[in-house]
Amino acid sequence: MNKLKIAAVMSVMMFIDTSQSLEDSVVVIVNDRVILQSELNEKMREIKADNLSRIQLAKLKNDVLDQLIEESLLDQASSRMGIRVSDIDLQNQLKAIASSQGLTVLQLKDVVENQNLSYTKYLDKLRRNIKRQEVFRTQFTNRAYVSEEEIISFLKNSQIPEVDGRMKIKEHIILNKSDKLNLSQAKIILEGLKVSDIEEQKKKYPAYEIQTTLLEDAQIYKLPDIYQNNLQMLDESRFSSVFKTGKGYTMLEVIDSNILVDEYKVSHILLTTNPMEGSEQIKEKLFQVKKNVMSGEDFSKYAGELSQDKASALKGGSLGWIRKELVVDNFRKVMLNTPVKGVSEPFKTRFGWHILYLENKRTKNVIDTIKRNQAIAILKDRKVAVAKKEWLAKLKEQAYIEYVR
């Protein structure tokens, strides 16, 4: 045993009470910390390993001891890294655990104590678990890079569970009873349903049989491929383009869905107050810009010249396609109430004074995005699992571990 190992053993043994009971005797020394028989027994009780053979029990005991050693090494790593868990973090974790079981935090406390467990010990254990997870998060999760090639290969070759995308859809069809009807004519007839009801269209085009069917709770992945493809992108009123099927020319109208998001193509001008210009002067300047743009001048020209949001100013004020969830409250309210091709009134956010131009609006099916995110998560988890295993093995290799018999 080298000097370092002797020092580790001595530092531990100084704090061990040799008169302690068998239940609290030391079973493993891990660097300058110990694992007690009571900890091993508690872990074994948690597993509730009944009706095991002697060989199975011995293997389980070794596995549990390995787990306790890893936990001890993680606790030591969290101390070295200076990881702390605040009371707020602890409370948030308690709320999450309680909520997952349909309980309040107080009810969770009662459940713990009704099992003859110490709530204080429960909180200590929870705090340690949070620290261990933070060690892993710091070491691996934020560093696990997944390349575009890996994502494409995974989506192509692996089976991802189907996303439970559901839609309430109106299926508008001109039944295929005439060879004279072409796509251009079908578009005129079906797109008329965006502004008038089906009875009006039937009267207007009596030569064609127009039919509307409500699909109340359609599961996306069970729909025909041609339907899925045409539901990828919808117009601002949530209508698909017109396409041909075996039934006839078809247009889909989405009434409701859990996998559709609205996106807005927006440009803006941002101005902030300064010693020379207060709010009133800035509002007046923005009002003048709106007036000029509504008279036919180019919004992007003014954005490039005036906007103090330098990143978007370089692109004529363009923010690209954005979702309402990604902007601050007041910007969102104004954006939602501005018509396509319209310019808003001047409005204020915490960043300053704005006007915005809504170039376009669309509804997007996000199933492919959901699948892509699932693929990234799975690939990251795999990489993290391998890295964790290798890192823990290295920690064990570098640690002083002695089994006390």
Which CATH topology does 262-365 take?
Chitinase A; domain 3 (3.10.50)
Q: How confident is the model at residue 18 (pLDDT cuts 50, 70, 90)?
A: very low
Token digits of residue 299: 């919004």
DSSP sequence for 4-42: HHHHHHHHHHTT--TT--GGG-EEEEETTEEEEHHHHHH
pLDDT surpasses 50 at 5: no
* Whether CATH 3.10.50.40 fits 166-258: yes
pLDDT surpasses 70 at 28: yes
pLDDT at residue 15, as a whole number: 39
Higher-confidence residue: 48 or 112? 112
- Cα 124 from Cα 43, distance rounded (Å): 15
- Chain-centre distance for alpha carbon 24: 45
Assess whether the region 166-258 and the region 262-365 belong to the same CATH fold.
Answer: yes
The pLDDT tens digits of the residues spanning 149-181 come to 999 998 888 777 777 788 899 999 998 776 788
pLDDT at residue 259, as a whole number: 80
Residue type, 362: R
Q: How confident is the model at residue 336 (pLDDT cuts 50, 70, 90)?
A: very high
Q: How confident is the model at residue 248 (pLDDT cuts 50, 70, 90)?
A: very high
- Cα 24 from Cα 17, distance rounded (Å): 9
User: Alpha carbon of 104 to those of 91, 108, 122, 312: distances in Å?
Assistant: 11, 6, 16, 46
pLDDT at residue 10, as a whole number: 38
Which of 35, 28, 32 lies closest to 6 in space, CA to CA? Answer: 32
Architecture of domain 3-141+395-403: Orthogonal Bundle (1.10)
Helices then strands (H, E): number in the chain? 15, 13
Burial of 388 (0-12, 13-18, 19+ CB in 10 A): middle
* Domains in the chain: boundaries: 3-141+395-403, 166-258, 262-365
Average pLDDT over every residue of 326-342: 94
